[in-house]
Chains A and B, each alone.
Chain A
Amino acid sequence: MDVTEHIVTALTGKFGVAPAAIGDEVPLRQLGLDSLALEELRLIIEDGLDIDLDDVQLTSRDTFGQLVQAVHSKTGANA
């Protein structure tokens, strides 16, 4: 499962986001993620991909595409 698939699976499975609502330009808050939910999503991504997002600055106003890009930057660093 690649990064995008992993995040989409978390959003749909854990947070009940409709797959059709997800898009690169969609702000995370539009997907129903508040600060706490975004924290939980960080945790799921970190555990699932074995990466550390601690120094990644993200808010719920950032987009799904920005989240994917940020995670990619970390998985790339691990490679």
Chain B
Amino acid sequence: MNSETVRTITVAGLTCHYRRIVNSRRESPATEPVLLLGGALQHKDGWGAFDEGVGAVADLITVDMPGAGASDQLRPGQGMDVMCRVVEAVLDDAGVSRVNLFGYSFGSVIAFTFARRHPHRVSRLMLGGTPANLTEAECAEWRTAAERGAAGHEQEFVDFTMGFWLCQDESRVIRNRRLAHRYVRRIVTHAVTLLPYGLAVLNRSADEWLDTSGGLVGVPTLVFCGEHDTVSDARRQQDFAATIQDSAFVTIAEADHWATLERPAEVVDLVVRFFTDQTLHGVDYLGASAPALA
């Protein structure tokens, strides 16, 4: 049985909440604590299979980042600096000196930025579904769709995100495609129609594209994505991984940008393997194009 506590911190005038799950197993954790950062709308209670799967080998921290869950939204002028300060404050409050940091989608931008600024606090870094190497045209498309949403055409924005985030090519095999599409459409619709700043949160994720210019040194890193990721395709994410000194890249077969939803058990397994230094050889859910790892 795991014990779960929720704590509140204040960073730059924002009240934020995080959750810590401590496994009550008798033996020591197999690795350093794991901190999870998800997409723009991800809240601390929405990690499903991660709680049990990752919690079985390590203490687990999930966060309502600014604008998500019960935490305050960023104020005008605040951005990635405050996001990184929130991560730092969570680690400090939890008494965690070094962490296994997992970032997915927008969370990968925060995680990568934090790791570059505080490499001494990150034992291992795992980045999934990274918005790496997007073109200016792609960014402009997003901004246009967001402007239409803000102008009262919410359904247009939802339709755009469905095409941007989910592989619409029926010839590609995606596990649980129908259910994933239903789920994503509903949560995005809820966000832009019911949440007071849902559109702003989603749009912010588009303003903070991944800065791939500076690389990263000294932090073992695994970059991964669904093999049919449409936000940034596998090739571009692999190119991003190559900018990181001690890195590897893999794809998850039969998944797109929503691999954590479509194949949760497999993503959890990959997280556990990487954060506990297990081999990725012979793992059957990795895409055929993935390079073999040690």
Contacts and interface: CB of A to CB of B under 8 A. Distances in A.
A36 B264 contact: yes
Interface string B16-59: 00000000000000000000000000000110110100000000
The range of chain A's interface size is 10 to 19
A40 B51 CA distance: 21
A34 interface: yes
Interface stretch (B91-99, B136-144, B174-182): B174-182
Nearest to A29: B48
A36 B261 contact: yes
A35 B48 contact: yes
A50 B261 CA distance: 26
The range of chain B's interface size is 10 to 19
Contacts of A42: 182
A35 B262 CA distance: 10
A42 B183 CA distance: 10
Nearest to B262: A36
Contacts of A36: 176, 179-180, 183, 261-262, 264
B165 to A, nearest CB: 15
A36 B48 CA distance: 10
Contacts of B46: 35, 59
Interface of A: 29, 34-36, 39-40, 42-43, 54-55, 57, 59-61
5 contacts: A34-B48, A36-B179, A40-B179, A57-B190, A57-B194
Given A35-B183, A35-B264, A54-B189, 9 more contacts: A29-B51, A35-B48, A36-B264, A39-B179, A39-B182, A39-B183, A42-B182, A55-B190, A59-B46
List 10 A-B pairs, minimum CB-CB distance, nearest first: A34-B48, A39-B179, A39-B183, A61-B45, A36-B179, A36-B176, A34-B49, A35-B48, A39-B182, A40-B179
